[in-house]
Chains A and B, each alone.
Chain A
């Protein structure tokens, strides 16, 4: 759950309804000549206004390679895609052929039987080339259900101009962050950090920083309500209460991006997927003004979540062959090099990092080591379900409706309900 709901959600839903009709009965597949044909509907979840343009262009490139295949590009807002896909997949109507599935969703979709296994199909090419971390989330019960498209983590984005004005350095710990924010407030009147409050993904780096985690799959126990978890809740509450950070309970993504892009806040925590959009802001007309640094460390360590996206094929697709080929094309070295160059997104193929576009991108260069040390979530079917209970409590803490202790224990209780038999 990383991106907020936008007003375009409804428009997209309508567009979706329109595109979903009529494409059901167009079966395709490979003719005896081996040429692919038919329609492939792809649900992309990338950021609208920046990333989506590039992905759309890439999808059209596939049509040039296979003139008889018609790729229908649909952008579904990230915040809605998980549920929208599940509704459509279960109803057996209106689901896409290919979905850009967030890493945590992949095992869940696979477990529910919505995804086609890809082992031995043309979708998986040169499997050894994928980063191990990226490939981990695509495996479920010894089968591969998706192909890694991008990998990411989080860092702190900061506005160099404001930092210079206030005469501060990039904070490396939470305590630093508070002093830096205070100085920025005194010197420039601006708020230090925008902390996204309507999405629990933004809470993870604080949790990992205290040495905590949501669950521990190896011992089958819930760990979010351990003292570390309580401490993490205390940390974020303190940041907001002390005025070091501001937050919103709704429209978090839009508010965060616009306040940062307009120079109203000096810092935000974000990932590579936000870079392209951030650079469209007036503060960053000079790209050099955007600084990125590792997330501030908590009392235990520095920890950022490892995320990313995979491409998966819907098991009920009427056009599996073309879908496999499309997934292969979208995850190929060339495609990944292009997205690294144009959008600063991190490739999932080792060989793509050697490509000039990736080498030239400073942001890819910065995030590569961050990803390597990022905290992996357990790739179990329930991973995609862990955010819903957490985000409710997280927002409640930030808006002062509950105490950190209570939030941690409530979240832990709902996890135990979800994960039957876990401690």
Chain B
């Protein structure tokens, strides 16, 4: 429930400036100013009102309900349901922060969080480096550049679940192509999805494969916006290729790369389909990230535990908000402004 709303974090964290005083939020400023603002901008306020209301309903209500459920002991057995002849009232009750205490003191949440962080950092790190390398290769005049570019964007063009299923076939221990190739070379097959460590490696590999195109395209755009005069000047001064990369390319890419790293971190942190469709969080719970585990609480175990699932959802939201805040602060101290 609250899981979906986390996508607005980047926006919500960034729009503190833009969130002006609409009616009914925050402390009312002195009436004279309000009246002046109203008389000058009433038209603007009425124009944005529908949007504000719709966003409030679409995002605010589920988020509020998710937070409320995380403070109760709601599960499938005690929520209200009316099915044909059977009318059953809700019997769940408020339990305060018990769920949060359980989650933060138990081993499951922290263990899952640990793997989620490893997964996020390695996926983002590897995709960024690969994307950067490919973007640099494609940023020069080479024969068939557009063909390469097309081929590299392909993983992005295929619907996610199709490519994940394709990978699942490749990974199959007995009949998968990967092990057939290894077998042809006289190497024993690898239990790609049956061994916890290999499974972790496998899901990261698939996610990198899916994520590289975005990085590459974004960084390529960034590269093309760096004026070539800078490179020429550096060459005149006798800078080596590495120095040019280090002192022109990287600073020039900074506005793009900070944004894509933030976005990609949030996406990867909540990358549901890859994990869910490839391993279902298995073997055992080895590849379960926070989002898939929250889903499992709500939809896979029985009785379905809405309270615990909401708790995890809220915690995911909080973690990502903290991350976005820290990230912006770090950037600001480095003189970036966005």
Contact = CB atoms under 8 A, between A and B. Distances in A.
B84 A396 contact: no
Contact of B83 (A7, A10, A92, A385): A92
B297 to A, nearest CB: 10
Given A113-B81, A249-B194, A264-B174, A315 B86 contact: yes
A211 interface: no
A381 to B, nearest CB: 8
A247 B284 contact: no
B175 A247 contact: no
A367 to B, nearest CB: 28
B82 interface: yes
Interface stretch (A66-74, A81-89, A350-358): A81-89
B155 interface: no
A250 B161 contact: no
Interface in B46-88: 76-77, 79, 81-86, 88
Chain B contact residues: over half helix, strand or loop, or mixed? loop
Contact of A388 (B88, B161, B286, B302): B302
Interface stretch (B92-100, B165-173, B248-256, B328-336): B165-173
A47 interface: no
A89 B81 CA distance: 9
- Most interface-central of B282, B286, B300 (chain A CB within 10 A): B282
A384 B302 contact: yes
B84 A316 contact: yes
Interface in B175-218: 175, 193-196, 199
Interface residues of A, number: 44
A258 B86 contact: no
Interface in A244-267: 247-251, 255, 258-259, 264
Contacts of B168: 250-251
Given A112-B76, A250-B194, A385-B303, A198 B282 contact: yes
B174 A255 contact: yes
B283 interface: yes
A374 B302 CA distance: 25
A393 interface: yes
Nearest to A259: B174
Contact of B302 (A92, A248, A255, A385): A385
Contacts of A396: 283-285
B194 A247 contact: yes
A361 interface: no
A243 to B, nearest CB: 13
A113 B284 contact: no
B302 to A, nearest CB: 4
Interface in B287-301: 299-301
Given A86-B76, A86-B304, A249 B283 contact: yes
A392 interface: yes
Contacts of B300: 83, 388
A4 to B, nearest CB: 10
A402 interface: yes
A388 B165 contact: no
B336 to A, nearest CB: 42
B282 A250 contact: yes
Contact of A393 (B76, B284, B299, B301): B284
Contact of A248 (B194, B196, B299): B194
B280 interface: yes
A401 interface: yes
Contacts of B79: 90
A258 B302 CA distance: 30
Closest 10 CB pairs of A and B: A249-B283, A396-B284, A316-B84, A113-B86, A315-B84, A385-B302, A316-B83, A399-B283, A315-B83, A249-B194
14 contacts: A7-B165, A90-B83, A112-B77, A113-B83, A113-B88, A247-B194, A249-B282, A259-B174, A314-B83, A314-B84, A315-B84, A384-B302, A388-B300, A399-B284
Interface of A: 5, 7, 10, 82-83, 86-87, 89-90, 92, 108, 111-114, 116, 197-198, 247-251, 255, 258-259, 264, 314-317, 384-385, 388-389, 392-393, 395-396, 398-402
